[in-house]
């Protein structure tokens, strides 16, 4: 074939195989020739290995920085420290169990991981139009709450890394409120596995809407506090303005999406341009900034939280009119048969359902057993339905061979792609600006490494 076959051999030369460049012999006492070879830059050129266990690297990210004094001449990322083989593991579980795995990837935005995977599976099943309205609204509600909690962490950790500790404490304080809502609705603070093929795992619990309304009212008071604390703060601006510059051409070439792309002034938001889960029915604005820098990305995240709050409010209003409506598809060949309920020892299997399958209906037991252990079959094919996660385009390439398990599930994670911009954003700047640039990308290593 026309492709180069000479590269089929081992790509890595073993030690001693070097055939190009000057070869130094380190067996004798000729160390002086070695230092001569390094040239004049030997004293100034420093290679710093930052991470993978560094507090300012958003998890286990390793940065290899080449410095001249305080200036970064080269910046490279080393990733893979959190690789857990989620995609491989999903090939050994049923389609529904896959949700339990992919929710753990980008742990700050679990609902988006679930949503993009589930939307792909639903497209392959050809049931996209059969998802009940209430399930759609609940998905949007959870995703937008999740956007708020994710952006809060982005701002909080970003603030902490430049020394603004108050931003961190209040950011995590508010995030806790969102996690409380998640716990109320899904039973878990993280790793929910709540969005399932065909709908969501269960209905809203009693009182959830009131809690959501209280949260909206509280956040409307508290979000302006961030603006008051940061927007015009001279130290904050001094650290963020014109740092981590990346223009539109750079973003498109490097495949950057999310707030980084929108900080170039380009209003690209998949919720608006390629709506999914009924986003076309909500009233919200795409937030942009035109400075191409870290400060713009901060302002976009701040504004997007207000927009998300608007959407959450509309969701709450719609949910108030959808009391008792189904949250799972009517097709019993796909819908998860089991139900959950709160018992004396917390949430668990619904006793009514257990009674039904164990005491009343043999057919229900067979149906439950078949669907829970074997699962449903998904027609052969492939699908890619991206969603706008807090970090950009998150998509799952889902391939089915017609079996009960994913043949292949590959996640295009925005953190993975956006992290490629580290070099262009930080080379030529100061060491301290590397931290700010990476914080403005807001990578989550769980999503990068999967």
Closest separation in Å from C-beta 301 to other proteins: 22
Closest separation in Å from C-beta 85 to other proteins: 6
Please give the backbone phi and psi of residue 380, each rounded to the nearest 5 degrees, phi first: -60, 145
Q: What is the 3-state secondary structure (H, E, C) of 359-390?
A: HHCHHHHHHHHHHHHHCCCCCCEEEECCEEEC
Q: In the set 52, 255, 275, 337, which binds other proteins (CB under 8 A)? A: 255
Tell me the pairing of strands 195-196 and 408-412: unpaired
Q: Which stretch binds other proteins (CB under 8 A): 13-21, 41-49, 277-285, 374-382?
A: 374-382
Q: In the set 47, 92, 320, 349, which binds other proteins (CB under 8 A)? A: 92
Residue 83 contacts other proteins per CB under 8 A: yes
Q: In the set 111, 112, 182, 268, which binds other proteins (CB under 8 A)? A: 268
Query: What's the rounded Cα separation, in Å, for the pair 269 and 285?
Result: 10
Q: What is the DSSP secondary-structure string of 312-361?
A: HHHHHHHHHTTTT---B-S-TTTS----EEEETTEEEE-HHHHHIIIII-
What does the per-residue mask of binding to other proteins show for 34-73, with x meaning CB under 8 A?
Answer: ----------------------------------------
Closest separation in Å from C-beta 363 to other proteins: 8
Q: In the set 399, 425, 436, 445, which binds other proteins (CB under 8 A)? A: 399
Q: In the set 58, 104, 123, 245, which binds other proteins (CB under 8 A)? A: 123
Tell me the pairing of strands 71-78 and 392-400: unpaired
Residue showing tokens 């006793």:
351
Q: What is the DSSP secondary-structure string of 287-313?
A: ---SS-SHHHHHHHHHHHHHHHHHHHH
3-class state of residue 197 by DSSP: coil
Residue 395 contacts other proteins per CB under 8 A: yes
Query: What's the rounded Cα separation, in Å, for the pair 245 and 243?
Result: 6
Name residues contacting other proteins, limited to 93-112 (CB under 8 A).
93-94
Q: In the set 59, 199, 386, 390, which binds other proteins (CB under 8 A)? A: 386
253 or 351: CB nearest other proteins: 253
Query: What's the rounded Cα separation, in Å, for the pair 202 and 74?
Result: 50
Residue 331 contacts other proteins per CB under 8 A: no
Residue 22 contacts other proteins per CB under 8 A: no
31 or 92: CB nearest other proteins: 92
Query: What's the rounded Cα separation, in Å, for the pair 104 and 358?
Result: 33
Q: In the set 404, 427, 430, 432, which binds other proteins (CB under 8 A)? A: 404
Closest separation in Å from C-beta 317 to other proteins: 29
Residue 184 contacts residue 165 (beta carbons within 8 Å)? no
Element (H, E) at 200: strand 199-200
Q: Which stretch binds other proteins (CB under 8 A): 14-22, 150-158, 192-200, 382-390?
A: 382-390
Give helix 133-161 / helix 208-226 axis angle, nearest 10°: 30
Please give the backbone phi and psi of residue 264, each rounded to the nearest 5 degrees, phi first: -90, 0
Element (H, E) at 63: strand 62-68
Query: What's the rounded Cα separation, in Å, for the pair 351 and 338?
Result: 10
Please give the backbone phi and psi of residue 77, each rounded to the nearest 5 degrees, phi first: -105, 140
Residue 374 contacts other proteins per CB under 8 A: yes
Q: In the set 50, 63, 75, 79, which binds other proteins (CB under 8 A)? A: 79
Residue 274 contacts other proteins per CB under 8 A: yes
Closest separation in Å from C-beta 205 to other proteins: 32
Residue 19 contacts other proteins per CB under 8 A: no
45 or 83: CB nearest other proteins: 83
Q: Which residues bind other proteins (CB under 8 A)?
A: 1-5, 7-8, 11-12, 79-80, 83, 85, 87-89, 91-94, 123-124, 126, 252-256, 268, 273-274, 373-375, 379-384, 386, 393, 395, 397, 399, 401-405, 407-408, 410, 412, 416-417, 419-420, 449-450
């Amino acid at each position: 074939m026309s492709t180069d076959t000479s590269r089929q051999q081992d790509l890595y030369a073993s030690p001693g195989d070097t055939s190009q460049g000057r070869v130094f012999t380190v067996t004798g006492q000729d160390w002086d020739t070695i230092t001569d070879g390094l040239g004049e830059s030997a004293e100034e050129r420093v290679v710093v290995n930052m991470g993978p266990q560094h507090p300012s690297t958003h998890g286990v990210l390793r940065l290899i920085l080449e410095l001249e004094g305080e200036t970064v001449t080269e910046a490279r990322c080393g990733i893979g420290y959190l690789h857990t083989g989620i995609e491989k593991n999903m090939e050994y579980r049923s389609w529904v169990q896959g949700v339990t795995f992919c929710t753990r990837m980008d742990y700050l935005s679990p609902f988006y991981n679930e949503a993009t995977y589930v939307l792909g599976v639903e497209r392959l099943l050809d049931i996209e139009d059969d998802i009940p309205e209430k399930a759609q609204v609940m998905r949007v509600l959870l995703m937008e709450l999740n956007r708020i909690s994710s952006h809060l962490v982005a701002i909080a950790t970003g603030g902490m890394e430049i020394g603004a500790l108050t931003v961190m404490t209040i950011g995590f304080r508010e995030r806790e409120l969102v996690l409380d809502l998640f716990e109320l609705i899904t039973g878990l603070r993280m790793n929910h596995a709540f969005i399932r093929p065909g709908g969501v795992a269960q209905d809203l619990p009693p009182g959830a809407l009131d809690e959501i309304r209280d949260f909206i009212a509280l956040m409307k008071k508290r979000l302006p506090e961030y603006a008051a604390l940061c927007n015009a703060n001279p130290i904050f601006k001094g650290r963020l303005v014109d740092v981590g510059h990346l223009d539109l051409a750079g973003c498109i070439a490097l495949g950057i999406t999310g707030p980084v792309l929108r900080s170039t002034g380009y209003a690209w938001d998949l919720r608006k341009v390629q709506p999914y889960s009924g986003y076309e029915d909500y009233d919200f604005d795409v937030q942009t900034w035109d400075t191409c820098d870290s400060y713009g990305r901060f302002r976009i995240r701040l504004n997007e939280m207000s927009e998300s709050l608007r959407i959450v409010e509309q969701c709450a209003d719609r949910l108030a009119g959808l009391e008792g409506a189904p949250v799972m598809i009517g097709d019993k060949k796909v819908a998860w048969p089991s139900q959950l309920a709160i018992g004396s020892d917390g949430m668990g299997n619904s006793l009514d359902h257990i009674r039904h399958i164990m005491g009343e209906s043999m057919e229900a037991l067979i149906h439950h057993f078949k669907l829970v252990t074997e699962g449903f079959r998904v027609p052969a094919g492939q699908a890619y339905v991206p969603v706008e996660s807090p970090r950009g385009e998150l998509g799952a390439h889902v391939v089915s061979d017609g079996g009960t398990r994913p043949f292949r599930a590959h996640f295009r994670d925005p953190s993975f792609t956006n992290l490629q911009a580290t070099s262009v954003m930080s080379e030529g700047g100061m060491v301290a600006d590397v931290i700010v640039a990476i914080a403005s990308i807001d990578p989550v290593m769980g999503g990068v490494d999967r």
